[in-house]
Structure 1
Amino acid sequence: MKSFFKKKRNKRIVIGIVVLLILFIVLPRILGSLGDRQANMDSQYTMVSASNKDITVTLSGTGTLKPADSYTVMSLNSGDVISAPFEEGDVVEKDSVLYEIDSSNLTSNIETAEISVAESQRSYQRMLESLDDLTVKAQNAGTVMDFDIEVGDSVQVGQTIATIRDSKTMTIELPFGADDASHITVGQQANVTISGSFETLGGIVSEVSPIVSVLPGGMQVRQVTISVANPGGLLPTYEATAVIGDYACFESATFKYKAEGMVIAKASGDVAKVFVREGDFIAKDASLIVLDSTTLQDQIQSAKNTLRRSEISLESSQDALDGYVISSPIGGTVIEKNYKEGDTLSAGNPLCTIFDLSYLSMTLYIDELDISQISVGQPVTITAEAVEGKTYAGLITKVNINGVTSGGTTSYPVTIRIDEIEGLLPGMNVDAEIVIESRERVLAVPVAAVVRGNKVLVKTSGEETTNSDTPVTDAPSGYKYIEITTGISDTNYIEILSGLNEGDEVAIENRTVKDVFMFGRPGQNDQPSDGTGVDTP
């Protein structure tokens, strides 16, 4: 029995020794392996703290500088240059004379055209005046006699239309002695005696002739005209004598109507209107008829057309003359002069080029996803490799909605103006940066720390194995993901609106850190899909 128990105790001792060997040899290795694995895990990440940063969101691009305005002056005419009073590099004012071209041949053409216009104007004016002849008027007041015109009748030039007779007043012209007539005055009363009936009528002297004539027998006389109101029966066939004061006429004479004239047509045409009838009394210059003449209207239109053609010819010659004196269309600097005084040029050749360098401009093409953030009046920072260490202030002056599509992407031209241009020249390539948004001292972490779904990776405490609020299954051992709310971002940092506090540490995979600092954040020039300004891996 003693031997049995001894053997059993020895067996237990051996087992204990084995267990101790396991505890002292195997367990440290196991624990070491676990420690090495955690150490390796920690070595894959860099911990950074959330801190306050200034973040500025910008859009940038390149472009070529252009002058404020430019113009290549072209020759419209051929000829010899007789004056070109400027040189390359000169600053010229708008409308200042650049070139004068010999125009001697054109001057004679203009004179001929002016003569043609004057002749055409006179011809057209005569035609217009003849248009008045279509209305036939009375040359004196009186009774319409011998009138038998009706609407529709044809009238020819020179045709007698009517006779206008003033029979209410009769006149008689009687010879008085030359000495006696010198004492007779216009307006003086006269007694007129009708031969045969010896009826006496009162009259008034209307005219005393200054001309002395001699009657048969040698008597010198002067003719005195007397107006007599017609009582209704006087006719031009009646004879009479007269006494004016103490003076009597030497012989009798016959009466005449005070006014009697024939109305003659001055134009041909068809009678369109009739205003009087035979026997009507009509005033001087009153209308009798109106003619309609298609021929005359055609002649007037033809004369008008001829006048206009002459005017156009003159205008063309004058415009051509203007082309022989060439002025600057803009104010600016002459950068190229192709012809000088004495040269012979041909029409259509460029004479000189002028740049307005009062400011420079450039066009920047903005992607369709960013164009909504651009507006007129935004400031722009300009830099040029040709001018090291200097920045220029630009201003957006135009956002063109006529986009340019290439490769399925549309971009829109934005015009930028630069006023202070010392050191800059047209044609230089420059970089432009537009500040979209800027915030100072906001809580931020590196952009690389934010992963898909707006989460950051943080270490867990010893007691927890996962994030109970936001459970995930792909967090590395010893770490967990927490959700955050982000704001604006630039190429390096992103604003944290919620989910972290200042000083909180987040993990960044060392490969990501290396990529960011060596090559820039992957996809940093691409538009993020979630619109936060952050690219998700």
Structure 2
Amino acid sequence: SGTGTLNPANTYTVKSLVEGKVLTGEFEEGDVLDEGSILYTLDSSDASTNFEKAEIAMQQAQRSYDKVVDRQYVRAEVDGTVSTLKVAKGDEVTSGQEVAIIRDSSKMLLTLEFPAADAANFSVGQTAQVTLDGTFEQLDGTVTSVTGTDALSTGNLLTRTVTIAVQNAGGLTTAQAATASINGVSSIGSATFGYQAERTLTAQAAGTVTSIHVQEGQTVAKNDILIELSGDDLTESIQSASETLRSAEISLQNLQDTMANYTVTSPISGTIIEKDAKVGDAVKSGDTLCVIYDLSYLEMVINVDELQISSLTVGQKVQITADAVQDKNYVGTVTRVSMKGTSNGGTTTYPVTIRIDETDGLRPGMNANAEIVVAEAANALTVPNAAIVRGGYVLVTQDSPSASKADTTMEAPEGFVYVAVKTGVSDDDYTQIVSGIQEGDTIGYDPNSVSSDSYYDDGSSMMIF
């Protein structure tokens, strides 16, 4: 047994992790809140600005990293056919060196001059009739562009430049010349065809050609990787860009975590015991905002003597009473028996933690008394502890049913005999009798006796039980 102070199941002091003005705090002392409920919101305008800056910095670092990583590749800039490869695997290249040519000859472009007055009425998408020089073969074409300003050509004629796209079945080359007419208006002279697109690809960094993924004549799509490069400078640049990106990501994550701290939520389910900040208050990091108790159960700690601690185990029942709650008993459970004792004045005690689930009428801070039930016996036959003498004998009257079991070798007071008994569990006042005497026996004992070695030569000071 022992005494202790009742404590809540859990106590949490909510502190601000940031500095700011309290914008909301819609709760009061005594309110019961669930875990995760919003307690306060703090002004985060300055932090929001810093977060946006960090977000922009991270995006810039990401773009820089992507750009540096892409320098190890030569990609197709347009859809087309690889017409020329200028390097082989293992070649060393310098930044800006030409490595391949891609051409898109699926359509050929014919750029001609037309009289300005007529060309002003032409429009993109309009049909044109194209006539090949030499063979006079006629092909359909489509106007793709018309210049918006007039130019003075040889002979002082005002003209506009018109570009016509012609589908290439495979026979058109850049050596072929042609004329065209649009809406009955003929071009001024002829011109040779050009490719719809032509790109000379260059290495974006110095390095060694480690892989070539295409062959000459192969069709590729825009952004396809044609050639891969490697080198110490490339590796170092990629590593540096990666570290810069990682640093920016960490900075952004830290600010994101900080932003979350401007919304203060309840860390546990419980009751508001203390509210220290209100709307309009300016709080600093570390300031206490409120205190929450989890009152789902109460706990108390009692100190148990070293001579009794070995009989205690987790799960044992405990009888609880409180001075502040009269005529009411509570049931607790041992939840922890500490292995670490404290010595004082030659006596060692061990803290024992007790949990109380049914707490009606109890409050944290109250003093309580605890008696741990080490063992139980239902419907037990008991006698006062003082009635057991001489290490296991009980005095019974000669007319008691159990008097027939008397130990005749032992001298007893007049009208009594000693009967040997087997004892069971006991508490501070009573001891269980397992065998030896029975219900209905009348026993005698000295209520002032404190020694189990006491015995009676006569009936003085004896109580009948």
Alignment TM-score > 0.5, same fold: yes
Q: What one-letter code is carried by the residue in structure 2 that aligns with 1:126?
A: S
Choose which of 136, 146, 156 in structure 1 pairs with 2:74: 136
Tell whether the 8 Å contact from 2:301 to 2:352 is kept in structure 1 after alignment.
yes
| 1:417 maps onto 2:350 in alignment | no
Match of 1:227 in 2: 166
Match of 1:11 in 2: none
Q: Secondary structure at the match of 2:315?
A: coil
Tell whether the 8 Å contact from 2:382 to 2:431 is kept in structure 1 after alignment.
yes
Choose which of 311, 334, 344 in structure 2 pairs with 1:370: 311
| 1:515 maps onto 2:427 in alignment | no
| Inter-partner Cα distance in structure 2 for 1:79 and 1:248 | 77
| Inter-partner Cα distance in structure 1 for 2:132 and 2:47 | 72
| 1:203 maps onto 2:134 in alignment | no
**What is the Cα deviation at residue 400 of structure 1?**
0.6
Match of 2:204 in 1: 266
Q: What one-letter code is carried by the residue in structure 2 that aligns with 1:205?
A: G
User: Deviation digits for residues 438-486 of structure 1, max 9, x if unmatched?
Assistant: 544x65554434334533456899xxxxx999785x6469886543334
| 1:427-506 equivalences in 2 (<5 Å) | 427-434=365-372, 436-437=375-376, 439-440=378-379, 443-452=381-390, 454-456=392-394, 472=409, 475=411, 481-504=418-441
Q: 1:78 to 1:209 in 2, by over 3 A?
A: closer
Match of 2:3 in 1: 62
Match of 2:244 in 1: 303
| Inter-partner Cα distance in structure 1 for 2:177 and 2:285 | 88
| 1:151 maps onto 2:84 in alignment | no
Q: 1:408 to 1:272 in 2, by over 3 A?
A: farther
Choose which of 60, 70, 73 in structure 2 pairs with 1:122: 60
More helix by share: 1
Tell whether the 8 Å contact from 1:72 to 1:350 is kept in structure 2 after alignment.
yes
Q: What one-letter code is carried by the residue in structure 2 that aligns with 1:252?
A: S
Q: Secondary structure at the match of 1:91?
A: coil
Specify which structure has the bigger relative contact order, considering alpha-carbon pairs within 8 angstroms and separated by 6 or more residues. Answer: 1
- Taking only aligned residues, the RMSD between alpha carbons, in angstroms, comes to 5.0
Q: What one-letter code is carried by the residue in structure 2 that aligns with 1:371?
A: L
Per mean C-alpha deviation after superposition, the further-off stretch among 247-256 and 174-183 is 174-183
Q: What one-letter code is carried by the residue in structure 2 that aligns with 1:207?
A: V
User: Deviation digits for residues 24-47 of structure 1, max 9, x if unmatched?
Assistant: xxxxxxxxxxxxxxxxxxxxxxxx
Q: Secondary structure at the match of 1:437?
A: coil
| 1:385-424 equivalences in 2 (<5 Å) | 390-405=326-341, 406=343, 411=350, 413-417=352-356, 419-422=358-361
Q: 1:346 to 1:128 in 2, by over 3 A?
A: closer
| Inter-partner Cα distance in structure 2 for 1:339 and 1:249 | 85
Tell whether the 8 Å contact from 1:169 to 1:228 is kept in structure 2 after alignment.
yes
Tell whether the 8 Å contact from 2:132 to 2:176 is kept in structure 1 after alignment.
no
Q: What one-letter code is carried by the residue in structure 2 that aligns with 1:485?
A: K
User: Deviation digits for residues 189-223 of structure 1, max 9, x if unmatched?
Assistant: 544232xxxx3334331326544666544556664
| 1:162 maps onto 2:103 in alignment | no
Tell whether the 8 Å contact from 2:320 to 2:368 is kept in structure 1 after alignment.
no
| Inter-partner Cα distance in structure 2 for 1:507 and 1:183 | 130
**What is the Cα deviation at residue 304 of structure 1?**
0.5
The unaligned stretches of length 5 or more in structure 2 are: 454-465
Choose which of 117, 133, 155 in structure 2 pairs with 1:193: 133
Q: 1:239 to 1:380 in 2, by over 3 A?
A: same
User: Deviation digits for residues 106-142 of structure 1, max 9, x if unmatched?
Assistant: 8546524532441342233233144234321232413
Tell whether the 8 Å contact from 1:187 to 1:206 is kept in structure 2 after alignment.
yes
| Inter-partner Cα distance in structure 2 for 1:73 and 1:244 | 81
Tell whether the 8 Å contact from 2:110 to 2:194 is kept in structure 1 after alignment.
yes
**What is the Cα deviation at residue 289 of structure 1?**
0.5
Tell whether the 8 Å contact from 1:487 to 1:494 is kept in structure 2 after alignment.
yes
User: Deviation digits for residues 59-98 of structure 1, max 9, x if unmatched?
Assistant: x4322233454445556678999999999xx424548888
**What is the Cα deviation at residue 348 of structure 1?**
5.4
| Inter-partner Cα distance in structure 2 for 1:343 and 1:183 | 69
Q: 1:71 to 1:172 in 2, by over 3 A?
A: closer
